[in-house]
Amino acid sequence: MASAATHSRGVLERERSGSRAPALLIFGLGVVLALLLALPGETIATRGLEDLFSILDGAHRIAWGQVPNHDFHSALGPLVYYLPALGLALSGSYGAALPLGMALLLVVVAGIAAHVLTSRLHVALALPFAAFLLLVLAVPMHLGEGVTALSFLFFYNRIGWVCLALLLVMYVEPRDNSGRGLALDIACASVLVLVMVYSRATYGMVGGASLLLMLITGRWRWAGGALVVVLLAGGLIELVWHGSASNARDVLMAFETGGWWRGTPGSKIDLLLGNLADYLLFGLLVGLLFWRRFNWRDALFFLFCAVAGYWLINQNEQRWGILTLHAGAAVAAQYLLRSMAARGPRPVGAVVNPPGVKLYFAALLLPTIVHCSLALLLHDGTAVVNGGQALPIPRLEGVRLANLWTTGDFNGSTWYVGTITDGLAALQSLPEPAQNVQVLNTPNPFSLALDLPPSVGDKLDLRWNVTLNQVHHPAPAELFGDADVVMERTSAGGSGPIGQLYLPYVTEHYSPVAQTANWRVFHRNPADTGIPAAAAAPAPLVP
């Protein structure tokens, strides 16, 4: 027994001695990917413009001094809006806002990955897993979509998956238990959990549960320290932000609307079948590990990876991409390699051997690595040659709509852009210039395009049966805030159930002042008089 323990310590020492060069490679890869994402200074999209406009509207609001969940509502965390706002502040371009904001986050995550992966995984596991995670974070593409489906659609989900995967890999005992290694572990885990908490609540909940899991399974030194740091940091952030309670109410409304488990039984089964291959490949590695060694802590950890990952993807509009399975596979592969190196009770055979485990794990990651690499290069190449069409919307010329063998999406997006230009023309033709614009049933790019002060108190992510429904929804007076102009899109089915819910309030407090092929424009009735806006006398000019 003593001999085996001595041999295991020797294995850890040999792994530790060669971890610096891989760490530099991982961080260097993160920097390269960040530069590829940020340097073109443009956003290329083949789809998802409505979601992009919603996020950029949040950045516009922050540029005007608003605070998320304080001055406007969203079920998403404030970091989702502060990232593009930071990119906007640094570049001055809405086209560069999201690529630059994501590039800055990518450098931070690359630094964390360099420490976490090289301190715990064999280099043959750490390097491909780092490439896998950093490419997923860098590529402007929703997981599970085709390589030409370029979009920053749901980019916050990729942030959550990558941070959670890195946190779960920390289940592996580190090679360096010294004070410096422990401090780095606490710092990395704390940042990962905070990023998840302030990006999207579902990932924050699973991230917090992961820390509790680490405490239960004996990783109490760094997990306990990280939990304390997260609680203290959250308290300090709240002293400045004052939005935690508001955000919690918005998140709870989204859960009450969409449910804690979403979809029909059939859709849940389809979601499981869509990720069945990953579950099987993950299960094979776990089975091989349990064949060599078994303990209840490992079983609890792998069960958590499988169940928590499925719950997360159930909460997403996403068909594939349960990255907790890949993180669990990395942990299983690492423990297999350590077991073999320590000459465990079962011999290394022709089927289960260190080279085979490394190749198996690399093969699990390779399709996604290639897929994301192609999509990122396609985004960059299109941006460098100014491919696609610059949006004909003021201040959004840095966003380019491309047709990359995506004719259906391109035609639909072209039609949507046409509705926006139609709405802008209607606003600019009003007798009195609009001061605050609220859009009833779609994201609002009008305030951004016309550089208008945003309305106060409204909600950005209005999605029926996702963030609101007939029972759970913001009060009309709060939603429309101080907006003096309300726009309702009448084309493509009109405002639908959201219009049925809020139009009675709009018609009571606003009067129609313009009508186009795509929009009805309402202006708030003059205060205290109830006189329709069209009949109101113009305000006197102030010398």
480 and 355, same structural domain? Answer: no
- 486 has which bridge partners? 438, 522
376 and 310, same structural domain? Answer: yes
Residue 122 located in a structural domain? yes
The average pLDDT across 211-229 equals 96
The average pLDDT across 493-508 equals 92
Residue 484 located in a structural domain? yes
Q: Which helix (H) or strand (E) holds 382?
A: helix 354-384
Q: Is the pLDDT of residue 532 over 70?
A: no
346 band by pLDDT with thresholds 50, 70 and 90:
low
Is the whole model's pTM more than 0.85, yes or no? Answer: yes
Write out pLDDT tens, residues 270-324: 999 999 999 999 999 999 999 988 999 999 999 999 999 999 999 998 999 999 9
User: Tell me, what's the pLDDT at 1?
Assistant: 41
166, two tokens: 């890195």
Share of the chain above pLDDT 70, in %: 92
| The last residue of a domain, from among 325, 348, 383 | 383
The average pLDDT across 471-492 equals 91
Backbone angles phi, psi at 500, to 5 degrees: -60, -30
Q: Is the pLDDT of residue 6 over 60?
A: no
The average pLDDT across 228-246 equals 96
The average pLDDT across 164-173 equals 98
374 and 458, same structural domain? Answer: no
177 band by pLDDT with thresholds 50, 70 and 90:
confident
275 and 338, same structural domain? Answer: yes
439 and 347, same structural domain? Answer: no
Amino acid at 403: N
463 and 354, same structural domain? Answer: no
Residue 267 located in a structural domain? yes
441 band by pLDDT with thresholds 50, 70 and 90:
confident
Q: Give the burial class of 384: count Cβ atoms within 10 A of its Cβ; 0-12 exposed, 13-18 middle, 19 or more buried.
A: exposed
Write out pLDDT tens, residues 78-112: 999 999 999 999 999 999 999 999 999 999 999 99
Kindly report which listed range (143-152, 335-344, 385-394) carries the lowest average pLDDT score. 335-344
506 and 378, same structural domain? Answer: no
Nearest partner of 237 among 197, 201, 183, judged by Cα: 197
- 73 has which bridge partners? 459
| 3-class secondary-structure state, position 149 | coil
Residue 425 located in a structural domain? no
Q: Return d(Cα 130, Cα 113) in angstroms, integer.
A: 7
Give residue 515's domain range.
432-535
| The last residue of a domain, from among 383, 414, 446 | 383
Q: What value does the mean pLDDT of the chain take?
A: 91
Q: Return d(Cα 168, Cα 210) in angstroms, integer.
A: 7
299 and 223, same structural domain? Answer: yes
Q: Return d(Cα 326, Cα 367) in angstroms, integer.
A: 13
Q: Return d(Cα 350, Cα 357) in angstroms, integer.
A: 11
User: Tell me, what's the pLDDT at 179?
Assistant: 84
127 and 201, same structural domain? Answer: yes
162 and 103, same structural domain? Answer: yes
User: Tell me, what's the pLDDT at 383?
Assistant: 95
Residue 13 located in a structural domain? no
Residue 14 located in a structural domain? no
Nearest partner of 368 among 22, 85, 128, judged by Cα: 128
User: Tell me, what's the pLDDT at 121?
Assistant: 96
353 and 453, same structural domain? Answer: no
10 band by pLDDT with thresholds 50, 70 and 90:
low
Residue 395 located in a structural domain? no
**How many domains are contained in the chain?**
2
| The last residue of a domain, from among 383, 402, 419 | 383
Q: Is the pLDDT of residue 541 over 90?
A: no
Residue 154 located in a structural domain? yes
CB-CB contact of 129 with 330 (8 Å): yes
160, two tokens: 């959550």
CB atoms near residue 144 (< 10 Å): 15
161 and 234, same structural domain? Answer: yes
Kindly report which listed range (49-53, 256-260, 528-532) carries the lowest average pLDDT score. 528-532
